[in-house]
Amino acid sequence: MLSRFALSLPNRSRGAIVPRSYRTFSSTRIKQDEYDVVIVGGGPGGYVAAIKAGQLGLKAACVEMRGTLGGTCLNVGCIPSKALLTSSHHFHDAKHHFADHGIEIGDVKINVDKMMESKANTVTGLTGGIEHLLKKHKVDYFKGKGSITGPNGVSVALSDGGDKNLESKNIVIATGSEVTPLPPVPVDNAVGKIVDSTGALDISKVPETMAVIGGGVIGLEMGSVWSRLGTKVTVIEFMDRICPSMDTELTKKFQQTLKKQGFKFNLKTKVVNNEVVEDGVILTTEAAKGGKEKTQKYDIVLVSTGRRPYTDGLNLEQLGIKTDKLGRIEVDKHFKTAVPSIYAIGDCIDGPMLAHKAEEEGIAAIETIAGFAGHVNYDTIPGVIYTYPEVASVGKTEEELKEAGVKYSKGSFPFQANSRARANGSADGFVKILTDAQTDKILGCHIIGPNAGEMIAEGVLGMEYGASSEDIARTCHAHPTLSEAFKEACMDAYDQPIHF
């Protein structure tokens, strides 16, 4: 798909400045230091918005209080957790599967300090790279906490001391989210016994036991890291299944797979109290509907019950910017708040709290500011769980289609019947395709299996272009590849698969 404004622009090389005639803003400013846009927050939504603003020739600034760019995702979220998932996967493979391939290496040990060093190096390299990109696109970067002083003003309490007042025609709020506290189990990352997702990234030694409170993406990913290294992990979930917003058939298979890996699950269970003792934490739980209390001691407790918008110090109420009951900033379809010159994107507005969703919104908001047609298709925002096997989804679940009364067809294909998966010794899982029963248009794609996070992109692209399952089924896929399972699931949706 061409970019949203590519058709209106002459052919130009990447990185070239947009011709002045195509910009919304002229070079004439009321004040020499007035910005076209100031972005408050330097996470995935904020820094991407800043770069896009620079690419479109807007005078832009980005304000970030952390001291490094990339937000939660790059500093204490997506990236460091994936680094640990990769390290722990290598360890688990070496310990349990290398011998299957005739590789004999003797006793395998994990050096946690070295693993953490590798993670830190990854983060440092990437955060520095983003700062370079801001400089490349002439975006001013201010380190400090930003507050909005009016429709066109941002005050920055600089990290190095002092204040800086910025004037801007437009402001984009991209302040992200923070961990939602769980009152019966207060987090103290410094002590290291009850930790949140940030604290779980800095555990200094492999615990014997760990309780993960919350059966969602973050808890299952971090639980997987330590489970692979030898920790006995127990997941405590209030609902009757893990990842309750995902397709039920998918999550049932996911839970079965994690059980095989040693996970224990206490579903329909809530935590009512805790006691921190010298050698761990004693948790008190009971049935979600109430009942007899139980106690169990764990070395470490990971609280991963969700996140909430972070809007502290922005002066939203004074500005007349409305938030909903969950604290999310209310915006229109163009990401404008109640104050027309102030926009909001990412985790601090409605929608899934995903880095790539924030990035898309950041680009769309800036394109709107620049006079183009910024748009995000929320039906094609994928979600991925980076466990092993990976889990990935986009579009509607079976449950959503049934509830909406949509007549649909379903196609599926197991990785056990995929030659590449069998050759790799990684054949757990399946691909599932949901289509409109009359038109064959793809409505949802759900995958559990090797490389699901990469494979889901084919489904996203197909859905973005309104593809039918037959369109993808009749597209040649290289052999042998894992993606052939996607093709065969599409064949099953409209006709029959070949290899199953």
The DSSP symbol for 228 reads H
Number of neighbours of residue 475 by Cβ within 10 angstroms: 14
Q: Distance between CA atoms of 157 and 163, rounded to whole angstroms? A: 5
Locate 500 and state its tokens. 């199953």
Catalytic residue among 96, 132, 375, 479: 479
479 is a catalytic site residue:
yes
Secondary structure element (H or E) that encloses residue 285, with its range: strand 280-287
| Number of residues in the chain | 500
Contacts of 383 (CB under 8 A, 6+ apart): 217, 246, 352, 354, 392, 393, 394
Contacts of 93 (CB under 8 A, 6+ apart): none
In a 10 Å sphere around its CB, with 0-12 CB exposed, 13-18 middle and 19+ buried, how is residue 308 labelled? middle
Q: Could you write out the DSSP letters of every residue in 402-460?
A: HHHT--EEEEEEEGGG-HHHHHHT----EEEEEEETTT-BEEEEEEEETTHHHHHHHHH
Q: Distance between CA atoms of 174 and 353, rounded to whole angstroms? A: 12
Cβ–Cβ < 8 Å for 52, 138:
no
**Cα separation values, 437 from 160, 396, 408, 446, 494, Å:** 61, 14, 4, 17, 9
Cβ–Cβ < 8 Å for 71, 46:
yes
Cβ–Cβ < 8 Å for 165, 149:
yes
Locate 90 and state its tokens. 């290598």
Contacts of 354 (CB under 8 A, 6+ apart): 381, 383
Q: Distance between CA atoms of 253 and 37, rounded to whole angstroms? A: 47
Q: Distance between CA atoms of 52 and 210, rounded to whole angstroms? A: 42
Q: Distance between CA atoms of 454 and 390, rounded to whole angstroms? A: 9
Q: Distance between CA atoms of 68 and 262, rounded to whole angstroms? A: 37
In a 10 Å sphere around its CB, with 0-12 CB exposed, 13-18 middle and 19+ buried, how is residue 192 labelled? middle
Facing residues of 277 across strands?
A: 280
Closest CA to 5 of 454, 373, 417, 485: 373
* Active site (catalytic) residues: 479
